[in-house]
Structure 1
Amino acid sequence: MNQTRAVLCGYYGMGNAGDEALLMSLLQMLPKSVEPIVLSGNPQATKKQYGVLSYRRKSTLAILNILKQSDIFIWGGGSLMQDSTSIASPIYYAGLMALAQQKGLKTIAWAQGIGPLNKSLTRWLTKQTLLGCDAISVRDTASAKLLSSWQINSVIAPDPVWALQSKPVTSLKDVSQPKVAVVLRSHPLLTANRLQTLIEALGDFQKQTNSFILLIPFQPVQDRAIADKIATQLEQNYTVMSIADPQELKGLFKQVKMAIGMRLHSLIMAAAEGCNCFALSYDPKVSYLMSEIDLPGYELTNLPDDPQEISRTWQEHYDHGEALDRVQIQSIIDRSLIHQQLLSQVITNS
């Protein structure tokens, strides 16, 4: 039996821990009969880390050759079709999917969060591309409703990172204080004033709880400067941590008492590991998660101006907030495996 070759396309090799976690989840869920070929911003690093074939994501010649030799094309998770950051991104992903469809490959839009789509061009591109897919899975109800309004069928399941196998992290074994993870990212809604308010709130919160602060830049090129700025205003008992292995990054949250996160996958990883979570939402996908698992937090647009108020809210959650219990977590993980079932069905029939 010949091995099936699948091209995996996403925001891979770009230094974003959330997207690397999606890639790792996809690789874990692919049937053993599939040979993955990953389009990456850093093919050498992707090949070394995951042990897979990898080619540059914007090399036209390489992509044409790979598609000619492959059977399946997969959008591998995340908010690929959205125009809130750039119109170039949806054009790129739609173009690759359309090319794969033209070449006769089976195509899968996998674990997608569709939107925001503010422009008529990107809405049209997304709809036309998805109409040509052999199978579609989405990770939130808003995406499913949008596709339903276009008369496009999809299956809905929790983000596959819920099911990502974690690994233990030993670098913090000597820290005896309760640990609080903080994951902030650069974004227009995180203005200088809001960031300063959060830093002052975090300083007061740390004093009141005697906690050890873990500043975790999920995408260092974007997030490291924020983490460093926070670090300069904390007096002691903190560290800035960058962990490249998605499984270790997820495992880190098993040691954390509370996580304060902007990035979607920081909250998913933390919640999946039984950590108490507090969200700072900058995007509908984070707000959807807050609603779906009853996660406390602030919309950044409604962030209080008073650092003391924020600190008191965090302290209350630190002292009395509850993480998801094991039964809830296992139920979410089980449902996230619907993404795996979809892969198996399409690949078995290819």
Structure 2
Amino acid sequence: MADRSSVTVGVLGSYGGRNVGDEAILTAMLGRIRAQRPDAHVVLFSRNPDHSRTAHPDVEVVGWEGVCRERISEHLRRLSVLVLGGGGILYNTEARRYLRLVRTAQDLGVPVFTYAVGAGPLTDEADCAWIRATLSDAAEVTVRDEESKLVLEEAGLTRPVSVTADPALLLEPGDGGAELLRAEAVPRGVRLVGMSVREPGRAAEHLDEEGYHQLLANVGDFLVHRLDAHVVFVPMERDDMRHAHAVVSRMADADRCTVLHGNYRPQQVLDIVKELDLAIGMRLHFLIFAALAGIPLLPLPYAGKVFDFAQQIGAPALRGVVRETAGLLLAEVDRLWDERPARAAHTAARTASMRLRAAQTADRLLGYLDRTAPRPLIDSTVPTAASATG
């Protein structure tokens, strides 16, 4: 009789943390796995199991933070493969937390596949040592951009690293954004410019909070006066709301702004972004959503991953929130608006190319599963509908 056992895929990343970008990565990844390996059983290792069970009711969710090695090993030893990523999780002091679990899986004989992971900043020697010890033994290492590949190489990783693209690029925009904006009392029939801000922190070590708040306030007032626009702040994490309000508080035209407060799924945020006329922002996945929606975008890079995305998408590669003066930034915003038809066409072509590379990550994982955990065969002793009636 044919083997009917299913493959069990573990997924480990920054999931359950209520970050729209991370959840977009997970949504796209799970969609690809389900479409091509419907026999797969998914075990999601989450930072917030309750949130993940609500967001993904069709997968098994396991909490892993603060769990001892013995207990987590019970779940790891069931896996056919552990998928690490995607998203930017390999950076100073954070990388070792994920890689301890990776090492435990490897000690149990579970292969590890890194899925378009993001890396950097990564200079702490302890984290670099974990990178070398674990990823050197991975079944395959794929990263989402050239910057991440360089970071891993500088950490001392000598094995081949493949560059694909962010998994969230595989999401498709829908048509629900207008209704969501109406529920947030965003004016209708006016130009809408979306803005994305974020907090300083370990992944954005060089941000001067007060300085970039004022810089973006200047941009917001310019958008109101130059374009007669309404500015919509799109939080990608809950704490983004606080920083959005800090920017609005410094604007002369604060009444021409809306900070979104809804608790939205990735697909809903993508649909909201589709309703915008222009996007200016810091958060990587806000910019990815703008590219998917086909609207002109201006990245404000605070880190290498955003700068790398700007280059890949053909957008101005500013070091906007760190180095540029307000005058230079406003001139770039003005140019973006004037050149938006040509910019949109150029961005669409680049986005299509990046989507193809994003699909390669899933193809590599599924190809690996086909080689190591073949699909279940239909039992030839069980009559099919055709043979039963023939």
TM-score normalised over the length of structure 1: 0.91
CA RMSD of aligned residues (A): 2.0
Aligned to 2:165: 158
Q: How does 1:1-350 map to 2 (within 5 A)?
A: 1-30=4-33, 31-51=37-57, 52-58=59-65, 59-60=67-68, 62-83=71-92, 87=93, 89-145=94-150, 147=152, 150-168=157-175, 169=177, 170-172=179-181, 175-187=188-200, 188-220=206-238, 222-232=239-249, 233=251, 234-241=253-260, 242-299=262-319, 300-304=321-325, 306=326, 309-321=328-340, 322-323=343-344, 324-350=346-372
CA distance in 2, matches of 1:271, 1:136: 26
CA distance in 1, matches of 2:287, 2:259: 18
Q: 8 Å contact 1:157–1:336 — kept in the other structure?
A: yes
1:148-191 deviation per Cα after TM superposition (whole angstroms, max 9, x unaligned): 67331232212111112333322236621121110000115143
SS of corresponding position for 2:122: coil
Change (3 A) 1:119 1:45: closer
1:229-265 deviation per Cα after TM superposition (whole angstroms, max 9, x unaligned): 2334343232222452111212222211111111111
Give the AA of the match of 2:28: S
Q: 8 Å contact 1:135–1:346 — kept in the other structure?
A: no
Displacement, 1:146? 5.1
SS of corresponding position for 2:51: helix
Give the AA of the match of 1:274: G
Q: 8 Å contact 2:291–2:347 — kept in the other structure?
A: no
Give the AA of the match of 1:347: L
Aligned to 2:380: none
CA distance in 2, matches of 1:301, 1:235: 24
1:175-220 deviation per Cα after TM superposition (whole angstroms, max 9, x unaligned): 2112111000011514302311220231132122111211111111
CA distance in 2, matches of 1:294, 1:130: 31
CA distance in 2, matches of 1:73, 1:213: 42
Change (3 A) 1:230 1:195: closer
Greater shift, 226-235 or 195-204, is seen at: 226-235
CA distance in 2, matches of 1:152, 1:325: 33
Change (3 A) 1:56 1:131: same
Change (3 A) 1:68 1:268: same
Identity %: 22
Greater shift, 137-146 or 116-125, is seen at: 137-146
Q: 8 Å contact 2:14–2:46 — kept in the other structure?
A: yes
Q: 8 Å contact 1:205–1:312 — kept in the other structure?
A: no
TM-score normalised over the length of structure 2: 0.82
- Displacement over 4 Å in runs of 4+: 145-149
CA distance in 2, matches of 1:243, 1:337: 28
CA distance in 1, matches of 2:147, 2:330: 32
Q: 8 Å contact 2:233–2:258 — kept in the other structure?
A: yes
Change (3 A) 1:309 1:117: closer
CA distance in 1, matches of 2:174, 2:315: 25
1:293-332 deviation per Cα after TM superposition (whole angstroms, max 9, x unaligned): 221153132120x4x5533431221222312454433222
Greater shift, 93-102 or 155-164, is seen at: 155-164
Higher gyration radius (CA): 2
Q: 8 Å contact 1:281–1:287 — kept in the other structure?
A: yes
1:263-315 deviation per Cα after TM superposition (whole angstroms, max 9, x unaligned): 111111111221111111111111111222221153132120x4x55334312
CA distance in 2, matches of 1:257, 1:112: 31
Change (3 A) 1:193 1:142: closer
Q: 8 Å contact 1:243–1:249 — kept in the other structure?
A: no
Q: 8 Å contact 1:68–1:103 — kept in the other structure?
A: yes
**Aligned length in residues:** 343
Displacement, 1:348? 1.3
SS of corresponding position for 2:232: strand
Q: 8 Å contact 2:173–2:274 — kept in the other structure?
A: no
CA distance in 1, matches of 2:39, 2:11: 15
